[in-house]
A = this chain, B = another copy of it.
């Protein structure tokens, strides 16, 4: 694509100036519309070293209100970022609704440069491409406008610019080794850029090339692309567009319905305490091992109110070194969280490699409480099964062990526990009117949970049901499940 690209002819100076004047004013109007319509706009700027991305961006934002945008320079990942999934550093920086984010450099930069320098294999590179396509599509499906710009200059122009910059002591620091390397291997880089652009040129997030031979001309192209892209995105937004529900392509495990799961499992106190000791010791050992092997572990807890999630988590946590794990209680989202992709608040809470993150309630709120209480649209939660499968695939591909527990009790047991909480002064804080209201919707919730378990029990991140009418039994099963999953991962790494 890039190789065959025929650039528009640069207009004469007079036309250029007059079009630029119009375009600047138009962009000014668009930023107000973006704010009003709560459109999040992510502009990624990739291209050759010395193509002038920085100065063009400088010109473009001069006509914008600084409260409406953020600029991010994404060069090398930090040490902390390197310990997270590949997309982490980008996902945590997505704009909130009504805001622009300009990324100077992006995931394209990162993966093409890694490939060119042999830092990743062709296979890893391809996996990244899949991740990137999902990421960009998810942003689009969740109402983001993603504008992808590639700033193009030819080999000679690049060489001349680098030489000019280098010869002036004021600017010589701006010429990096990697710029020089690029220019020396221009043809090879062009091949890789071209292939990358072709592979990621999705209909929902197409590439635009910018002839970067002159700054003013590049500014005009960028501004006009922004304007028309915003107009299209607003048209989609006004029509309260529904994104398509995608066909499932992930391998699924056949799972029983909640009503088919016997809840008569019990455990004696003696058996419980000896098992508990033994398993906690084993988990402690494993925690040490995953730390050294840099394996991230993510444990997701969902279940009925009063099913015993809290006590269950406590027994897991008790076995762990406090420096190596974190428990994230998930309540309703903060304003900054609500204004972004619903998975954003989970991306920001991902553990570093070698660490454990335990989520007390999770991203599955989307297809349970948000679905049933109407906090998101039907299209949103129907899309979410696939989006969540993609999210967890990302985590597993990163190397994480993902364990999902559904803590199951029957309706009578819940009533007993609610009543007990109400009648026991030191437990009264644990029971609220909302718990009673949720209980009234038991059947609706059960239907939603059944659908969720059917559609998100992937072979790589299946659900485990913890039969918790007897909390002791559930705790032991949770420990055993977690131990088994971690051991399996360690075995696989050892192969």
Chain A interface residues toward B at CB < 8 A: 4, 8, 123, 126, 133, 137, 140, 198-199, 202-204, 206-208, 228-229, 232-233, 235-236, 239, 241-249, 251, 378-379, 382
| Contact present for A247 and B229 (CB under 8 Å) | yes
Interface majority SS (helix, strand, loop, mixed), chain A: mixed
Report chain B residues within 8 Å CB of A208: 249
| Contact present for A203 and B246 (CB under 8 Å) | yes
Instruction: Select from chain B the residue with minimum beta-carbon distance to A386.
Output: B203
Report chain B residues within 8 Å CB of A247: 206, 228-229, 232-233
With the chains together, A204 CA to B244 CA distance in Å?
A: 8
* Distance in Å: Cβ of A28 to nearest Cβ of chain B: 20
Instruction: Select from chain B the residue with minimum beta-carbon distance to A234.
Output: B245
| Contact present for A8 and B251 (CB under 8 Å) | yes
Across the A-B interface, the 10 shortest Cβ-Cβ residue pairs: A206-B249, A232-B247, A241-B242, A229-B247, A236-B245, A235-B245, A203-B246, A232-B245, A236-B244, A137-B203
Instruction: Select from chain B the residue with minimum beta-carbon distance to A382.
Output: B235
* Distance in Å: Cβ of A137 to nearest Cβ of chain B: 6
Instruction: Select from chain B the residue with minimum beta-carbon distance to A138.
Output: B203
Report chain B residues within 8 Å CB of A207: 249
Q: A235-B382, A241-B245 are in contact. List 5 more A-B contacts (CB 8 A).
A: A199-B199, A204-B246, A206-B246, A232-B248, A236-B244
Q: Provide 19 A-B residue pairs closer than 8 Å at the C-beta atoms, listed in order of the A residue.
A: A4-B123, A126-B198, A140-B244, A199-B199, A206-B246, A206-B247, A207-B249, A228-B247, A229-B247, A232-B245, A232-B248, A235-B382, A236-B244, A236-B245, A239-B242, A239-B245, A239-B379, A241-B244, A242-B242
With the chains together, A199 CA to B245 CA distance in Å?
A: 21
Instruction: Select from chain B the residue with minimum beta-carbon distance to A206.
Output: B249
* Distance in Å: Cβ of A2 to nearest Cβ of chain B: 12
Instruction: Select from chain B the residue with minimum beta-carbon distance to A145.
Output: B247
Instruction: Select from chain B the residue with minimum beta-carbon distance to A6.
Output: B251
* Distance in Å: Cβ of A4 to nearest Cβ of chain B: 8
Report chain B residues within 8 Å CB of A235: 245, 382
Instruction: Select from chain B the residue with minimum beta-carbon distance to A235.
Output: B245
With the chains together, A249 CA to B208 CA distance in Å?
A: 7
With the chains together, A419 CA to B322 CA distance in Å?
A: 91
* Distance in Å: Cβ of A223 to nearest Cβ of chain B: 15
Report chain B residues within 8 Å CB of A242: 239, 241-242
With the chains together, A207 CA to B246 CA distance in Å?
A: 12
Report chain B residues within 8 Å CB of A126: 198
With the chains together, A249 CA to B232 CA distance in Å?
A: 12
* Distance in Å: Cβ of A392 to nearest Cβ of chain B: 17
With the chains together, A199 CA to B195 CA distance in Å?
A: 11
* Distance in Å: Cβ of A381 to nearest Cβ of chain B: 12
Which of A133, A207, A239 gathers most chain B CB within 10 Å?
A239
Report chain B residues within 8 Å CB of A8: 251
Report chain B residues within 8 Å CB of A245: 232, 235-236, 239, 241
Report chain B residues within 8 Å CB of A236: 244-245
* Distance in Å: Cβ of A44 to nearest Cβ of chain B: 14
Report chain B residues within 8 Å CB of A4: 123
With the chains together, A202 CA to B239 CA distance in Å?
A: 24
With the chains together, A308 CA to B243 CA distance in Å?
A: 44
* Distance in Å: Cβ of A415 to nearest Cβ of chain B: 35
Report chain B residues within 8 Å CB of A241: 242, 244-245, 379
* Distance in Å: Cβ of A77 to nearest Cβ of chain B: 26
